[in-house]
Amino acid sequence: MNLMEEKQREVWVVGHRNPDTDSVCAALCYAYLKNQIGDANYVAKKAGPLNEETRFVLEHFGVEEPETISDVGTQIKDLDFRHTEGVSSHISLKKAWELMKSKDVVTLPIVGGGGRLEGLIVNGDIAYSYMDVYDNRILSRARTQYKNIIETLNGTLLTGNEHGYFVKGKVVVPGRNHEALAEEIERDDLVIMGDILERQRIALEQYPSCMIITGVKTVSSEVIAAAEAIDCVLIATEYDNFTAARLINQSMPIKYFMKKNNLTTFELEDTVDFARDMMSRVRHRDFPVLDDKQHYVGMFSRRNLLNQQKKQIILVDHNEKSQAVDGIDEAEILEIIDHHRIGTLETLQPIFFRNQPLGCCSSIVYQMFRENEVEIPPAYAGLMLSAILSDTLMFRSPTCTEFDRQAGEALSRIVGENIETYAMSMFEAGSDFQSKTTEEIFYQDFKIFHFDDVDFGVAQISAVSGKQLRALAEKLEPYLERVLVDKGLQMVFVLLTNILDQGSRVLYKGADSEFVLKRAFPDAEGEEIFLPGVVSRKKQFIPQLMEALQDE
């Protein structure tokens, strides 16, 4: 199995945005269960930062925090792009052309030390280099390495350092006139000439930096000794003068011709939509792909878009599109495990959809462990116990069922935790708001809902102290106007829930928010609305709001 096939078999298990304890714990536990019974690599993710309660839970049971994902749209890294090996900027044009033919590519990435992309060269650049007219000093301006010249001419190094560079002088192919020979050649020139000893002697007396003898495999020992004495690079080639002169420009390094500025590149994390949009504006065929450290990893082209593989996703604790991670329409949803009302997500084909009227999604996951006869490790038992206690407010929420209670008690026995003692520690950890900003507090458990053309949001914040909730109300009240604008909502509500007193104070903002709220809860009066016994957003608050909106 190749690397791309392994990537395609990775399935992400993820909860809703602004994840709560159930969303994170259900993802972790269901991914573990699927890895015991499934045939792919299931990986738990989260769709936002942890709240303090969930952080306490993971640290308490020693479970690593899942990676946060913000988008599940297809990315460059999901595609089977070409992993063309990078080349050095010092290789010759001829070598680059041969590599392009052998690899069946039209673009070569030039990569330097540490894997950094330095530039690109395409076959058109090489073709233009052959067609352009250059003066006889182009080789030295391009700082051509003698090694390139030897390779290009299929030559043999007789003396000198092949790793040196021709950096000064011109290329000379002297005429046949012996008397004019000394005048044609200047110090540091590169001389191309045939195998005539007397002409070679005269040429070496002018101190050239390189001399290429054509039509031979070697030359006399006298010439070799003379070349060594003046540090002249001496090369023999079986090509004739004409062929050697014609080919020598192909020895120039691609660094002199490569494109190195304003390169259009993509990163592994870039979405396919972004790439498609960028490629529509640029008429290149291939584009370099870089990792998060800007290291070159491969080449991406338009044809790679034809066989794109969508990310495979399992959703837990939600089935509303507005609550799902960005890009969900581009992903392949394999399963949904949830305990909320049926929402707005659609799939292209039938999927496994398990939705049960329980107080917690982790209760469903616990049930599936039992159905599949998979032993529950203590750490995962602790996660599911925490989720159930959090979602049911320690079995006090009206959403709590007898099965939730039985599941919680069974899990507490596996993990060895006293339910009441542990629950209070968890709630207290979640009620520590001192180090958080108003934005972090508000969005730690916030969901958006839709009814006809009305979009409204509901946040819920729980605490074990009325004093804490009063302080929170003072911070949150002025923040609600900003939420309306940022999220494009008509109304926004905040449930400040007292876990011990079993009731919620409601903050609200929006043109019709007070009217809708009082229609939903006719007994609520005054500016400060308190709803005794209302602790469940899902079962006691949202249905009443929906009904009130329907009656308008």
pLDDT score recorded for residue 8: 44
* pLDDT tens-digit series, residues 255-297: 988 888 888 888 888 888 888 888 888 777 888 888 888 899 8
Q: Which CATH architecture has domain 3-73+311-430?
A: Alpha-Beta Complex (3.90)
Average pLDDT of every residue of the chain: 90
**295: how many CB neighbours lie within 10 A of its CB?**
14
Angle at 14 between CA 415 and CA 456, to 5 degrees: 110
pLDDT score recorded for residue 525: 67
pLDDT score recorded for residue 213: 96
Gyration radius from the chain CA atoms: 36
Angle at 226 between CA 221 and CA 229, to 5 degrees: 125
pLDDT score recorded for residue 430: 84
Q: Summarize the confidence of residues 165-190 as an average pLDDT.
A: 89
Angle at 48 between CA 45 and CA 51, to 5 degrees: 105
pLDDT confidence band for 123 (50 / 70 / 90): confident
Domains 143-251 and 438-550 share a fold: no
Res 526 pLDDT > 70: no
Res 338 pLDDT > 50: yes
Res 133 pLDDT > 50: yes
Q: Summarize the confidence of residues 460-473 as an average pLDDT.
A: 86
pLDDT score recorded for residue 154: 94
**550: how many CB neighbours lie within 10 A of its CB?**
9
pLDDT confidence band for 390 (50 / 70 / 90): very high
pLDDT score recorded for residue 5: 45
Domain 78-130+256-307, CATH among 3.50.50.60, 3.40.190.10, 3.90.650.10, 3.10.580.10: 3.10.580.10
The DSSP string of 490-511 is SEEEEEEEETTTTEEEEEEEET
Res 330 pLDDT > 70: yes
* pLDDT tens-digit series, residues 93-116: 999 999 999 988 888 999 988 889
* pLDDT tens-digit series, residues 407-439: 999 999 999 999 999 999 999 888 878 778 999
pLDDT score recorded for residue 83: 81
pLDDT score recorded for residue 269: 84
pTM score of the predicted model: 0.64
Q: Is 448 helix (H, G, I), strand (E, B) or coil?
A: strand
Say which CATH superfamily domain 143-251 falls into: HprK N-terminal domain-like (3.40.1390.20)
Inter-CA distances, 26 with 31, 282, 428, 429, Å:
8, 45, 21, 20
Angle at 393 between CA 387 and CA 397, to 5 degrees: 115
The DSSP string of 206-261 is T--SEEEEES-S---HHHHHHHHHTT-EEEEESS-HHHHHHHGGGGSBGGGT-B-S
**483: how many CB neighbours lie within 10 A of its CB?**
20
Q: What are the sequence ranges of the domains in the chain? A: 3-73+311-430, 78-130+256-307, 143-251, 438-550
Q: Summarize the confidence of residues 43-68 as an average pLDDT.
A: 95
Q: Compare 548 and 305 and report the one with higher pLDDT.
A: 548
pLDDT score recorded for residue 4: 43
Q: Summarize the confidence of residues 131-150 as an average pLDDT.
A: 88
Q: What is the DSSP letter of 116?
A: B
Q: Summarize the confidence of residues 312-324 as an average pLDDT.
A: 93
Q: Summarize the confidence of residues 239-243 as an average pLDDT.
A: 94
Instruction: Describe the strand order of the beta sheet including 67-68 as a list of residue ranges.
Output: 67-68, 41-47, 10-17, 312-316, 332-338, 352-355
The dihedral sign for the CA sequence 74, 79, 84, 86: positive
- Distance, in Å, from the CA atom of 265 to the CA atom of 87, rounded to the nearest integer, reads 17
pLDDT score recorded for residue 18: 87
Res 172 pLDDT > 70: yes
Nearest to 186 by CA among 214, 160, 205: 205
pLDDT score recorded for residue 33: 98
pLDDT confidence band for 552 (50 / 70 / 90): low
Nearest to 341 by CA among 536, 483, 68: 536
pLDDT confidence band for 2 (50 / 70 / 90): very low
Q: 28-41 as b/e, with b when 16 or more CB fall inside 10 Å? A: bbbbbbbbeeeeee
Assign a CATH topology to domain 438-550: Diaminopimelate Epimerase; Chain A, domain 1 (3.10.310)
Nearest to 10 by CA among 350, 331, 318: 331
- Distance, in Å, from the CA atom of 43 to the CA atom of 457, rounded to the nearest integer, reads 30
